[in-house]
Amino acid sequence: MISQVFILSSKGDHLIYKDFRGEAGSDVINVFYEKVTALPGDQPPVVMSHGDLHFVHVRQGGLYWVATTTADSSPFSLIEFLNRLACLVQDYCGTLTEKAVQMNFALIYELLDEVVDYGYVQSMSSDVLKNFIQTEAVSPRPFSLFQLSNVGLFGAETQQSKVAPSSAASRPIQSSREQGGKSEIFVDVIERMSVVIGSNGVLMKADVEGEIKVKCYMPNCSEMRIGLNEEFSIGKSQLRGYGAAVRVDEVSFHQAVKLDEFDNNRILRLSPSQGEVKNTLSIH
């Protein structure tokens, strides 16, 4: 059971505040921020307590997403709720930034009214909520160096006409209705590498984390098939032969992904709903 939900900027600015049960005052926002900033280190505990009130928070898009409860609720359920709420706001606002939240506060309040009823979580499906959400999203204009001048860094000429817009898949899912039912789907492959090299030049640690993101703007999307490398293996136990296998340590698939053909043919099948579907992979 959720008592309150609020979103804070990294500096503690109040962006969104919703009280569902009236069990605590709005001063709990300051209490939470004082507790989370007073702790040493950059990794404060996800769950904190203040008297009979419990704070559960996650960090998404540089923001604090916080839920409070006075009951014996499962912290894992609240963490999952906050993560899904952040994904839902990203689907409807396009991006997950402080500016996007400020510009779409009315939309986010409408989402909270539909998602939570007197502290109890209702449907969090983008397909279901689109029938009830009436507020249109306001998309912040993404910053681009190309807008500053026709001359790029170090005096080099820009290639603006040859560069595809990086924000193509970062717009609200409601925009498909404004474009007269234009159907589009974007598949992004994102990789992040963390490397630790000793003073003697020896590689000490290398971690690679990746994501396959599918963002769908189709009202009714038929089944989609994504084929991976046939030598793709998970863990050492699944290495095939002695070739140059693509090995990952951990894989997490979205619940919408069907894995019937994954083990034998490395094919992912899914029928994505409107919004974003994310699958993560990690190599250590």
32-63 pLDDT, tens per residue? 998 888 877 666 788 888 888 899 999 988 89
For CA atoms 86, 92, 96, 100, the dihedral sign is: negative
With cut-offs at 50, 70 and 90, classify the pLDDT of residue 160.
very low
Q: What is the pLDDT of residues 67-80, one digit of tens each?
A: 999 877 888 999 99
pLDDT, tens digit (0-9, with 9 covering 90-100), for 209-252: 888 888 887 766 678 888 887 777 777 655 555 555 677 777 88
The structure tokens listed for 235 are 């863990």
Q: E strands within 61-170?
A: 63-69, 116-117, 120-121
Q: How far is CA 84 from CA 21, 117, 158, 216, in A?
A: 21, 16, 39, 17
What's the pLDDT score for residue 65?
94
User: Average pLDDT of 265-284?
Assistant: 74
Angle at 150 between CA 145 and CA 155, to 5 degrees: 85
Q: What is the mean pLDDT of residues 110-134?
A: 86
pLDDT band at 284 (very low <50, low <70, confident <90, very high): low
Strand ranges inside 33-153, DSSP E: 47-50, 53-60, 63-69, 116-117, 120-121
* In the predicted structure, residue 256 carries a pLDDT above the cut 60: yes
Three-state secondary structure call for residue 197: strand
Q: Please tell me the predicted confidence (pLDDT) of residue 184.
A: 78
Length of the chain: 284
pLDDT of residue 140: 66
* Mean pLDDT taken over the chain: 78
Greatest mean pLDDT among 32-46, 90-104, 252-266 lies in 90-104
